[in-house]
Amino acid sequence: MNKNEEEHMLNLQHDPKPSANMLISHNNKSLMKNELLSCKEFVNKKNFQNNECGLILLKWICKVTSLKNINVKHGVLALFIVSLFTIFYYTHYVDNGVFVGLIHRDTRPTPLVPTCRNIEEKVLSYQTINHKSEARLRIDPKVLVFVENTYSRLGKDIAELLVYNRIKYKIEVAGKSLPILTNLDKGRYGVVVFENIDKYLHMDKWNRELLDKYCREYSVGIVAFVNSNEDTLVAAQLKNFPLYIHTNLRLKDATLNKNSPVLRLTRAGDIAWGPLPGDDWTIFQHNHSTYETIEWAQSNALHIPFNTINNGNSQIQHPLTTVIKDSGKFDGIQRIFFGSSLKFWLHRLLLLDSLSYLSNGQLSLSLNRMILVDVDDIFVGEKGTRLKIDDIKALITTQKRISEIIPGFKFNLGFSGKYYHRGTSEENLGDDYLLENLKEFNWFSHMWNHQQPHLYDNLTILENEMLQNYAFAREHKIPTNSYYSVSPHHSGVYPAHEMLYKAWKKIWNIKVTSTEEYPHLRPARLRRGFKHRNIMVLPRQTCGLFTHTMYIDRYPGGRDKLDESIQGGELFQTIVYNPINIFMTHMSNYGSDRLALYTFESVIKFLRCWTHLKLVSEAPLQLAHTYFRLHPEESDPIWGNPCDDPRHLKIWSKSKECEALPKFLVIGPQKTGTTALYTFLSIHPNIDSNIISPDTFEEIQFFNGNNYYRGLDWYMEFFPIPTNSTKKYMFEKSATYFDGEFVPKRAHALLPHAKIISLLISPAKRAYSWYQHIKSHGDVTANNYTFYQVITSSESSHKALKDLRSRCLFPGKYAQHLEHWLSFYTPQHMYIIDGEQLKLNPIDVMNDLQRALKIQPILDYSKQIRYDVKKGFFCQISSEKRNKCLGKSKGRQYPPMDDKSLKYLQRYYMSHNTALVKLLKKLGSRPIPQWLKYDLSMFS
């Protein structure tokens, strides 16, 4: 063999996918030599044995290319075979289209069975793993994360991991001053994480000493990652540490130190075989007893001086340290260093364990994981795609194997009775066999005809549909007491369709459901639960299989992509991060190639291999109670705007109209002139407000009270769709919104683009006006106490007096409440009106407001309102000589406030008014009101 032939064959050996053309074009003599790879060996090595047709083609190629004398006929034949092989390869590995249907093979994958070390004797070790310290800890369970910049990839990955696991954190850009680390005698953070170890090693002396002192005093640990660098370092010492690094390496075959005390969630099970992601790994060497390896790997290069030694004529490769723990023996601070980012799935688990270990258990996650697998649409499917008897038997067999790992595990089958016996004769037998074995499974209801509930606008018809499915269940002895249902395509659950909730309660007594859509489908880490109409709604997850995922060769990205999700990828991490897992699958995933059976059995075995998680299975009702016991803060829903999400818009009732939602809110506070503003706005022909509420006059008070729990449908009933073609600027006025604790968050979720209008007068004057208002309405407390007694009452006073004092004083802390609104809305969305100017010069105020709201056409308010001498304020013009003014309760004259109360209030609000001046200057859109200058001047 000449030199060129030898190089060509070496290339063939190392090319992971040598093409057929390369095989044919190579000199046939070289294939006959035993010292190099033969064609037959190539065929066997490439594992084509499972593909009979592919094996035959390759053998023909081998036979043709091994002929000693290739003539024209042989060349044409070889070309034909290669072309046929190319088409076959394309349809088998690449194409997902028409060819797949023509050349379908039996490709059912066998569940992965990882070879885990010491798993049997360690299977219950989760009971003994505990990082919690008996010492009195003086730290908050919160993580301080230093990132290089706000856009860094690793920084985002760290933040997303913390969000997914509901771990509190604060992000700081490294290089700036340290944030405040303590609160009185308690540390604000339990662990400090550096995205880039260089930012920690090269901190300025002052900040470094301050951080180290904090870590020692409060027993706070540090996690740091070594980032990739263009310069390759060999045996470089980390600044001031007896630790050395070698950077920019390619590694493979990771293993964990089973004796490391850091491992809690993570189990040192198998070897993570194969190349590790990236070519920028860092390995560590040390010469101090404070260091202990957590993770090793092997070199994926030909030679690396750190881990190879000569042994006679051969080299022995030693494992390389990629994650290392500093026990604190060197300088009193515990640290964990990562030699790569979170691209490697094991590092995500190790980071969670590092947070748990370094915080002495303050940041430990529960090791219990609850799993429910829903099988939607068990009878729904086209002929030829439905389950047969063998598929049902495989379902039962796999369920038994899974139940050996997850005691009591059963698949949860959802049925739409209308589609029973709608398949081929073989598939109809499958339906019957399923019902013969119905006790093997759990069951829940779909809709009778699989119709989306949001399409129903008649409650009676919707209830009748459910009754048909209920009757089907009773006829076939399917259990009807699961208290659980899933809506087709998640319709009606969120955005909530009230008819669905009412019908569910009446027909099925539903107490729990699930959806992927709350608050949005993506990102999955933000899915949450909520309660509505006494029905608990749980977040639903996907395992990566959808209705069309029936064959392994049609899986997007191929089998490698599915296996990646199972072996440390998205599906694996979903279970790791979620204490409660409800997975959505479909009937079609359990026939054909039975991908769901493969997927769940494989991921469950992989979890047992690599984690100490305790997997359990419970009925939906028990899952729901557990979920809201873990996350009670999620009980209250947050109604988002369906018009801002294309997926939500598709499953929102067609009787709803996006234009009906308010374009701006008048938020108060009370007794600042909001009713006058409401009246002036309503004069404009193109501005319209909500229908008047019979309970609260013109105010709906939706975002800050129990009305919020009535749902979005209830709210929108106050905003009827305009009957004419004129575009209306809809608005709502509720003066109690201004200082409502939950109002800004709720309002922004539903109306993120709305303008927010507030009116401000002297807070002292507002407090006195409220007292007189409530007194005139016969409030017992106001009539029994003077204003001064009310505002100076103490915390030891009786509840009614304290409540009245709060309603007088609390709304006047204007800056505090406006800052709360500005944490959700931008300054451009906020519009602040001087309430005194609205009273004295409403025409100019209204003209400015129209321009700010971009309302067309501009209405000339000089022709719409005028001053009424009798009332003492501006009223709507009804005729040349008559005005239409507000009721008797508006403009009422009260006795002047006593000086003692005035001075007390001006002193009380001084700091708040000072903060308001700073805020208004920051906003820069409105002049400082005269009343504000006057109140501050009293103590200047």
d(CA 934, CA 940): 10
Q: Is the pLDDT of residue 94 over 60?
A: no
pLDDT category, 42, cuts 50, 70, 90?
Answer: very low
Cα→Cα distances 790→672, 718, 764, 911, Å: 20, 37, 13, 21
Do 180 and 188 meet the contact criterion of CB atoms below 8 Å apart? yes
pLDDT digits (tens, 9 = 90+) for 831-882: 999 999 999 999 999 999 999 999 989 999 999 999 888 878 899 988 888 8
* Residue whose pair of structure tokens reads 């690449």 in the numeric block: 94
Average pLDDT over residues 469-494: 97
| Tokens encoding 8 | 């060509």
* CA neighbor of 740 nearest in space, from 771, 766, 705: 705
pTM: 0.84
464: helix, strand or coil? helix
Q: How far is CA 279 from CA 98, 248, 308, in A?
A: 39, 6, 19
Which residue has 């039962």 as its token pair? Answer: 396
Q: Which of helix, strand or coil describes residue 309? A: strand
**How would residue 484 be classed by pLDDT, with cut points 50, 70 and 90?**
very high
Higher-scoring residue by pLDDT: 796, 14: 796
* Tens of pLDDT, residues 382-417: 999 999 999 999 999 999 999 999 999 999 999 999
C-alpha span between 788 and 904 (Å, rounded): 9
Between the alpha carbon of residue 722 and those of residues 102, 113, 687, 719, 729, the distances in Å are 55, 63, 11, 9, 10
Task: Write the DSSP string, 538-580.
Answer: EE-EE-S--TT---GGGSTTHHHHHHHHHTTSHHHHHHHH-SE
Q: Determine the 3-state secondary structure of 190 from DSSP.
A: coil
Is-catalytic flag, 671? yes
The model's pLDDT over 53-71, given as tens digits with 9 standing for 90+, comes to 444 445 555 554 454 445 6
Query: Tell me: the pLDDT tens digits for 277-336?
Result: 999 999 999 999 999 999 999 999 865 555 554 445 555 568 999 999 999 999 999 999
Q: What is the mean pLDDT of the chain?
A: 87
Q: For 64-73, 76-85, 234-243, 719-728, which range has the lowest pLDDT when averaged over its residues?
A: 64-73
Does residue 549 come out as left (phi exceeding 0), alpha (psi in the -120 to 50 range) or beta?
beta
Q: Give one DSSP letter per residue of 408-443, joined into a string.
A: T---EEEE-GGGTT-S-HHHHHHHHHHHHTGGGSEE
Residue with the larger pLDDT of the pair 837 and 122: 837
Give tens-digit pLDDT for 238-265.
999 999 999 999 999 999 999 999 999 9
Range with the poorest average pLDDT among 170-179, 721-730, 813-822: 721-730
- Distance from C-alpha of 104 to C-alpha of 551, rounded to nearest angstrom: 9
Alpha carbon distance 894, 774 (integer Å) = 12
Pick the catalytic residue from 671, 733, 765, 775: 671
| Confidence grade of residue 99 (pLDDT, cut at 50, 70, 90) | very low
Burial of 791 (0-12, 13-18, 19+ CB in 10 A): buried
Tell me: cis bond preceding 632? Omega within 30 of 0 counts: no
Task: Please say if the pLDDT value at position 719 is more than 70.
Answer: yes
**What pLDDT score does 228 carry?**
83
Q: What is the pLDDT of residue 447?
A: 93
pLDDT digits (tens, 9 = 90+) for 564-612: 999 999 999 999 999 999 999 999 999 999 999 999 999 999 999 999 9
Assess whether pLDDT exceeds 60 at residue 209: yes
The whole-angstrom separation of Cα 840 and Cα 859 is 19
CB 354 within 8 A of CB 262: yes
Is the four-CA dihedral 890, 896, 900, 906 of positive or negative sign?
A: positive
